[in-house]
């Protein structure tokens, strides 16, 4: 990985700010918090510029003092990749997030008036309904702590990745989910109460064309994601009976397969 030096970044910010003085700055570095010496130098250099900026980073790398410095230097928005709220699934996908620190940092960011967004994934091939329930309710817990919004992504499988090993290439195909038109106006056949989930899926989600999960069909996964958005917005946990109802109505046609 190569990261631009802080002086190089500051020169570019100054250049762009002079050209577009009313604009903010966004950093599309998914590991923005990983290099602590770089981050310390960045905070010191950017504070005098008095700009507004947003960034992305690993949710458990932030420490309380760094959150204070984010707020002090003009950061107004942080996006955090969580993926799953289940500790065993964290190990399986080799992310190993400290989930307790994730919740702590969401709360600390909220206290400092920094908007926070978290990303989650549902529907790994061998992911159980209980694991999905844990992830959804983890997102609800984050919302109660101050998370402003989140995205739930259906798991997509990409050729050449570890997750794709031994799987049929038909599983690699996906489509963009369309329930809203380009102006974000609802289509006529939306059911009452579904607008939030439909809209979020339409804005962000690529949907696998095939059934991938061995417990829940593709259509069932979409229904679960829509419900998840509603639950997070209401700050209300998903109950086991609600999940069981979706699994019963949308069972996967797949036989059990190898673990991911």
Q: Is residue 143 within 8 Å of 150, Cβ to Cβ?
A: yes
Q: What is the pLDDT of residue 169?
A: 85
Residue 175 sits at φ, ψ, to 5 deg, of -135, 155
Q: What is the pLDDT along the chain (260 residues), one digit of tens a residue?
A: 788 999 999 999 999 999 998 888 999 999 999 999 999 999 999 999 999 999 999 999 999 999 999 999 999 999 999 999 999 999 999 999 999 999 999 999 999 999 999 999 999 999 999 999 999 999 999 999 999 999 999 999 999 999 998 888 888 998 887 765 545 555 555 555 556 677 777 776 688 999 999 999 999 999 999 999 999 999 999 999 999 999 999 999 988 665 44
Catalogue all structural domains in the chain, each as residue range(s) with its CATH number. Answer: 59-249 (3.30.750.200)
CB-based contacts of 9, cutoff 8 Å, min separation 6 = 42, 45
Q: What is the pLDDT of residue 191?
A: 55
Residue 10 sits at φ, ψ, to 5 deg, of -60, -40
CB-based contacts of 77, cutoff 8 Å, min separation 6 = 54, 55, 114, 115, 116, 117
Q: What is the pLDDT of residue 260?
A: 42
- DSSP code, position 210: S
Q: How far apart are CA 248 and CA 218, in angstroms?
A: 13
Please give the model's pTM, rounded to 2 decimal places.
Answer: 0.90
Q: What is the CA radius of gyration of the chain?
A: 20
Find residue 120's DSSP bridge partners: 83, 152
* Distance between start and end Cα atoms, the chain: 26
């Amino acid at each position: 990985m190569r990261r631009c030096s802080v002086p190089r970044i500051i020169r570019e910010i100054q250049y762009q700010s002079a050209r577009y003085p009313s604009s903010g700055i966004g950093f599309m570095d998914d590991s923005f918090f990983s290099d602590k010496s770089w981050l310390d130098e960045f905070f010191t250099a950017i504070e005098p510029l008095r700009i507004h900026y947003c960034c992305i980073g690993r949710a458990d790398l932030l420490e309380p003092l760094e959150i204070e410095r984010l707020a002090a230097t003009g950061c107004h928005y942080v996006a955090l990749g969580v993926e799953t709220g289940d500790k065993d699934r964290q190990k399986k996908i080799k992310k190993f997030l400290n989930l307790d620190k994730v919740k702590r940092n969401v709360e600390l960011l909220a206290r400092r008036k920094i908007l926070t967004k978290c990303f989650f994934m549902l529907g790994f091939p061998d992911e159980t309904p209980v694991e999905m329930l844990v992830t959804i309710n983890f997102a609800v817990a984050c919302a109660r702590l101050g998370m402003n919004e989140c995205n739930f992504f259906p798991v997509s499988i990409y050729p050449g990745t570890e997750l794709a090993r031994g799987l049929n290439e038909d599983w690699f195909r996906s489509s963009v989910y369309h329930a809203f038109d380009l102006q974000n106006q609802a289509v006529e056949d939306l059911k009452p109460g579904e607008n939030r989930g439909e809209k979020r899926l339409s804005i962000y989600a690529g949907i696998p064309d095939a059934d991938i999960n061995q417990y829940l069909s593709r259509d069932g996964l979409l229904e679960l994601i829509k419900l998840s958005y509603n639950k997070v917005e209401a700050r209300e946990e998903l109950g086991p009976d609600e999940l069981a109802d979706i699994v019963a109505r949308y069972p996967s046609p797949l036989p059990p397969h190898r673990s991911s």
